Amino acid sequence: MARFSIGSRQVLYHILLVNTFLDTGFPKSPTKFLDLPVEFIVAICWLSGSLKSLPLVCKHLREIIYSTPLLWGRASINIRPGGTRNALLSLDEHLKRGARCPLEVRIDAHEAITEESQIDTDLFVKLSAHKERILALDITTNSVTLSQAILHLTLTEPEFCPLPSLRSICIRHTDAGDDYFDSEIGSGFLRNLNPTLFPSLTTLVLPFTAEYMISLDSPMPSLKTLILDGTRNSIERSEAAYVFQVTKFLAQTVNLETIWFKVESMQTDDDDLDAFIPEDEDEPPSPHVVDLPRLTRLAVFGFGKGEELLRFIKAPNLRDLHIDGTQDRDKSFFDLADWAREHVMFLFPTLKTLARRSPLLG
């Protein structure tokens, strides 16, 4: 799929709004809009942000949009308090016009749950009938329970079967407050993630909370990118249990190439951690030290003890390391230079880039 810059986006959007370009061609060019490859037209329409308004430009564009299934391969579902009727209508249109084309789904339900309202799950049951088409599933909610219910209803109903088309799952939370969604649907979905359901999954983005203590019961060799985002959920537990939980997960995903571990208040006990680190470098590594031979990019929060995770990762090909120790500027005790002299070159001798603050961790 073609990608365009912001400048190109503005130019192309104006092209769509000027009917004369459709018949007379682009300025200083004999090329007409209708002569563009279908892939370009799809990209232009996606960049415009709304398939519902574009058919109003003219009948030519309307015919293109309604007769090109690829244009309907990206469904954005916005769920708000008061019901899911509008979201259902929008989803119905995408599923119908998209035929059997691959589907990218974005579900925004971050304002949907209040103490007085709940969500009708019929929307996700309908989507599950087309789950074999889904390439990417992006979910934003204010409820841990709702996120797991959406995953369960969309990906495992009406029957459990592998989804070889699914490449990316992204779960984001906008609020770590009260969870008003009361349901047992999908309870523990991520705590007992079944890799056989996702044989081709390459990207996994999850909030890192006590409720989302992820675990795998078997290897997931397809996974390339893992993001654990705990920035909205303060982790105050004093034991090293959270670090060990992550390393257990990493042991099942040894083909990872990129890890972002975003937990800014990880407080652990040095004595507990040291108990799992071999005193002699010639000794065999402990069971909690994970070998990730393909890992090239790693980012962690350095404030607190988030950087301790680095001591449990053996990454002989790591090239880029970002340690963000500046989220709380009053916590000046974390000195990256001192830490690097003591640890980094011993742990990661192939390192090429070391950054104290990464914009990707903001």
Give the three-state DSSP class for 203. strand
Mean pLDDT of the region 201-212? 80
The pLDDT tens digits for 26-50 are 455 555 666 667 667 666 666 665 6
> Which amino acid is present at 178?
D
The better pLDDT of the pair 6, 216 is held by 216
Given a cut of 70, whether residue 98 has pLDDT beyond it is yes
> How many helices, marked H, and strands, marked E, lie in the chain?
11, 12
Query: If we measure between CA atoms, which residue out of 266, 209, 199 comes closest to residue 232?
Result: 209
**pLDDT (mean) for 174-198:** 69
pLDDT of 338 higher than 50: yes
Q: Is the pLDDT of residue 179 over 50?
A: yes
Helix (H, G, I), strand (E, B) or coil at 350: coil
**Residues near 287 by Cβ (< 8 Å), separated by ≥ 6?**
none
Phi, psi of 243 (to 5 degrees): -60, -45
Distance from C-alpha of 122 to C-alpha of 159, rounded to nearest angstrom: 16
Domains and CATH numbers, the chain: 1-71 (no CATH), 72-361 (3.80.10)
For the ranges 70-74, 82-86, 194-198, 213-217, the one whose mean pLDDT is highest: 194-198
Q: If you average pLDDT over residues 238-242, what whole number do you get?
A: 53
Whether the CB-CB separation of 226 and 253 falls below 8 Å is answered with yes
Predicted local confidence at residue 259, as pLDDT: 93
Of 168, 161, 75, 162, the closest CA to residue 124 belongs to: 75
Q: Is the pLDDT of residue 76 over 70?
A: yes
Are the C-beta atoms of 141 and 173 separated by less than 8 Å?
Answer: yes
pLDDT at 330 over 50: no
Over residues 92-121, mean pLDDT: 73
Q: Higher-confidence residue: 132 or 19?
A: 132
Cα angle for residues 200, 201, 202 (degrees, 5° grid)? 110
Q: Is the peptide bond before 102 cis (omega within 30 degrees of 0)?
A: no
Report pLDDT for 54. 66
Other CB atoms within 10 Å distance of the CB of residue 215 = 13
* Phi, psi angle pair for 189, to nearest 5°: -55, -45
Residue with the bigger pLDDT between 113 and 4: it is: 113
Answer for the pair 83, 102: CB distance below 8 angstroms, yes or no. Answer: no
Q: What is the per-residue pLDDT across 56-72, written as a single tens digit (0 to 9) for each?
A: 666 777 777 777 777 78
Residues 6+ apart with CB under 8 A from 237: 267
pLDDT digits (tens, 9 = 90+) for 285-320: 444 789 999 999 998 876 555 667 787 888 889 988
- On whether the CB atoms of residues 256 and 228 are closer than 8 A, the answer is no
Q: What is the CB neighbour count within 10 angstroms for residue 177?
A: 10
CB of 124 closer than 8 Å to CB of 153: yes
- Residue 165's pLDDT is what? 92
The sign of the dihedral angle between the CA atoms of 270, 276, 281, 285 is negative
Give the pLDDT of residue 211. 55
Q: What is the pLDDT of residue 117?
A: 52
Confidence of residue 216 (pLDDT cuts 50, 70, 90): confident
Which DSSP category does 179 fall into?
A: -
Banded model confidence at residue 8, pLDDT cuts 50, 70, 90: very low
**Adjacent-strand bridge partners of 323:** 300
Q: What is the pTM of this model?
A: 0.76
* Position with higher pLDDT, 140 vs 215: 140
Please report the pLDDT score of residue 256 as a whole number: 97
d(C-alpha 167, C-alpha 203), whole Å = 6
Average pLDDT over the chain, rounded to an integer: 71
pLDDT at 82: 63
pLDDT computed for residue 202 by the predictor: 96
Cα angle for residues 186, 187, 188 (degrees, 5° grid): 110
Provide the pLDDT for residue 180.
52
Q: What's the pLDDT score for residue 163?
A: 92
Q: b/e map of 88-107 (b: 16 or more CB within 10 Å)?
A: bebbeebbebbeeebbbbeb
pLDDT digits (tens, 9 = 90+) for 250-281: 999 999 999 988 765 544 444 444 444 444 45
Can you tell me the distance from the alpha carbon of 95 to that of 75, in angstroms, rounded to the nearest whole number? 9
Output the six-digit token pair for 309: 């995770």
Report pLDDT for 108. 86
User: Are the C-beta atoms of 79 and 108 separated by less than 8 Å?
Assistant: yes
Total residues found in the chain within this entry = 362
